Amino acid sequence: MKPSVITIEPNGHFCSDCAVRASAVCSSLDPAELREFEHLGRRVHFSSGETVFSEEDITTSFYNVLEGVMRLYKLLPDGRRQIVGFALPGDFLGMNLSGRHNFSADAIGAVTVCQFAKAPFGRFIEDRPQLLRRINELAIRELGQARDHMVLLGRRSADEKLAAFLLGWRERLLALKAPSDTVPLPMSRQDIADYLGLTIETVSRTFTKLERHGAIEIIHGGISLLDPARVEALAAA
Amino acid sequence: MKPSVITIEPNGHFCSDCAVRASAVCSSLDPAELREFEHLGRRVHFSSGETVFSEEDITTSFYNVLEGVMRLYKLLPDGRRQIVGFALPGDFLGMNLSGRHNFSADAIGAVTVCQFAKAPFGRFIEDRPQLLRRINELAIRELGQARDHMVLLGRRSADEKLAAFLLGWRERLLALKAPSDTVPLPMSRQDIADYLGLTIETVSRTFTKLERHGAIEIIHGGISLLDPARVEALAAA
DNA sequence: CGTAAAATTGATATTTCTCAATGAGAGTGG
DNA sequence: CCACTCTCATTGAGAAATATCAATTTTACG
């Protein structure tokens, strides 16, 4: 939310040894293309709570998340907030039709992104259909996630919402880190509430309830999944 | 839900005078391409209530809606249903990454689709990046709609949900028909409830409430927007 | 017409929210 | 190093919104 103090790394970064090389949009590029692509992106750091872009801002850049977690959200005029997703390394942000962002994005903890100016990136895509195809794949994947989330928001109880969230979040982290029954939760309870369409109090009570039932243990900065099967049963599919 | 009795139109249909020519995926094709494309699609009719495809079915075709309205939905194992969207003429259905549909689609009233077998359609796209770009545009548009809908499901009251639905639905029809304060609602109250994350009783009561307040009039097969400004105020953004 | 399905309405139950108080952890300055 | 303060999280009590259950009423259809 503070004005963002941007650090632009001068040089010394190569796509070829980028952490998200294999999973991000750039996975569609061959080594030669990658060297050209390298000149388009700049690594930019954001610290905890900084806003990377805001809803309704004119889109000047696209972003590839390299490190950290971001919250993506929309606000109603009266301040109610709905988090529409959390972005993790490999996620590509900024695509839209209107020329304006249709949600806001903040860093949760320290974040590094690879930032591309819109125009040169657009030109680069122009004659690289396989990059376009990759972007399309990511969009379709997100659309699937969005639909799953609609089911959660519209048809699940508070218990089911939290259980499904914990499992889904663990699942996403699995693609990035070694599997573990310890699930780090870098976002606040309020973030979780705004993601699940609940209040912070309900989220807190539901955590406590899951813990009392022996399904999880609340630890510092996350939870420990004591009884994954039980949490899965609670998530009801 | 009944097994679908499919009628395949033999011939006599040309993309060039298709109703959705200007808005659908095919708007990206030039006349020469269009003649080739013509051989890929078949017009197929579905009658009210028929299922066009089901979640988890292996994707064998893509669909371009030509006429009518479809409900797109996901079911939880215990039968709870969330409608993730209504498809209208010009909408393109069936894209996914897994090779299986990730939602089900039923006809609401009579529906005509242009059906494309997956493999030949895939091959046709292969060397037509502008078609891919068009598909990507449609995906991004849907993603935006999905995010808006998450806000509705997670953060709006029943009154706001219904008001926002009526305005949004009117808006979508506006692109297809002449603007009118009479808003046809071909879907059932249950469909509306499952779209808004409410029960049918709450939807019914909220309609009645809007009518008592003079904001709308409930008419056969739809509503009349008596006081659009008031409904907009209720929708709260 | 008569029957079935859909929609409405009412009474009550339940879930989740709201408001309020308390507790715990992180960082700061004495 | 310790009080202080700030933010975040938890807990409790009561209120409100929406769901559930049940009964009509209306509409659709054979």
Place of tokens 């105020």: B233
Beta-strand ranges (E) seen in chain A are 7-8, 41-46, 51-53, 61-75, 81-87, 92-93, 104-117, 182-184, 216-219, 222-225
H or E stretch at A229: helix A228-235
Strand order of the β-sheet with B182-184 is B182-184, B222-225, B216-219
Cα B14 to Cα A228, B20, B62, B113, B114: the distances in Å are 55, 12, 18, 14, 11
Q: Is B84 exposed, middle or buried (0-12, 13-18, 19+ CB in 10 A)?
A: buried
Q: Which residue is nearest to nucleotide D9 (CA to C1')?
A: A204
Q: Which nucleotides of C are covered by protein (CB under 7 A)?
A: 6-11, 15-20, 25-26
Find the length of chain A: 237
For residue A100, the chain B residue with the least C-alpha distance is B144
Cβ separation of A236 and B146 shorter than 8 Å?
no
- Residues 6+ away with beta carbon under 8 Å from B205: none
Cα A92 to Cα A26, A95, A137, A195, B179: the distances in Å are 10, 8, 11, 19, 37
Any A CB within 8 A of B213 CB: no
Cβ separation of A146 and B146 shorter than 8 Å?
yes
Give residue A7's pLDDT.
52
Give residue A229's pLDDT.
96
Phi, psi of A41 (to 5 degrees): -100, 150
Residue B190's nearest nucleotide, by CA–C1', is C6
H or E stretch at A29: none
Residue A161's nearest nucleotide, by CA–C1', is C16
* Shortest Cα distance, chain A CAs vs residue B137, angstroms: 7
Q: Give chain A's domains with CATH numbers.
A: 7-152 (2.60.120.10), 157-235 (1.10.10.10)
B10 pLDDT higher than 60: no
Give residue A12's pLDDT.
56
Residue A220, CB, strand C, below 7 Å: yes
Cα A82 to Cα A107, A187, B97, B148: the distances in Å are 16, 14, 27, 9
- DSSP for A78-103, please give it: TS-EEEEEEE-TT-EE---SSSB-SS
Q: pLDDT tens for residues B92-144?
A: 999 999 999 999 999 999 999 999 999 999 999 999 999 999 999 999 999 99
Give residue B3's pLDDT.
42
Share of chain B above pLDDT 90, in %: 87
In this prediction, residue B2 has a pLDDT band, given cuts at 50, 70 and 90, of very low
The helix, strand and coil proportions of chain A, stated in percent and rounded to the nearest 5, come to 40, 25, 35
* Shortest Cα distance, chain B CAs vs residue A147, angstroms: 6
* Shortest Cα distance, chain A CAs vs residue B183, angstroms: 24
- The pair of structure tokens assigned to A215 is 């399904």
Q: pLDDT tens for residues B208-219?
A: 999 999 999 999
Q: pLDDT tens for residues A26-43?
A: 999 999 999 999 899 999
In this prediction, residue B65 has a pLDDT band, given cuts at 50, 70 and 90, of very high
Q: pLDDT tens for residues A100-129?
A: 999 999 999 999 999 999 999 999 999 999
The number of C-beta contacts closer than 8 angstroms across A and B is 109
Residues of chain A with pLDDT under 50: 1-4, 10-11
Q: What is the 3-state secondary structure (H, E, C) of B172-237?
A: HHHCCCCCCCEEECCCCHHHHHHHHCCCHHHHHHHHHHHHHCCCEEEECCEEEECCHHHHHHHHCC
Place of tokens 């304060």: B181
**Looking at beta carbons, which residues of chain A come within 8 Å of B155?**
76, 80-82, 197
For residue B126, the chain A residue with the least C-alpha distance is A129
- The pair of structure tokens assigned to B118 is 């997956």
Q: pLDDT tens for residues B153-171?
A: 999 999 999 999 999 999 9
Any B CB within 8 A of A70 CB: no
Cα A185 to Cα A109, A170, A212, A223, B119: the distances in Å are 11, 9, 19, 7, 42
For residue B103, the chain A residue with the least C-alpha distance is A147
For residue B129, the chain A residue with the least C-alpha distance is A129
Q: Report the C-alpha gap between A21 and B78 in whole angstroms.
A: 41
B148 pLDDT higher than 90: yes
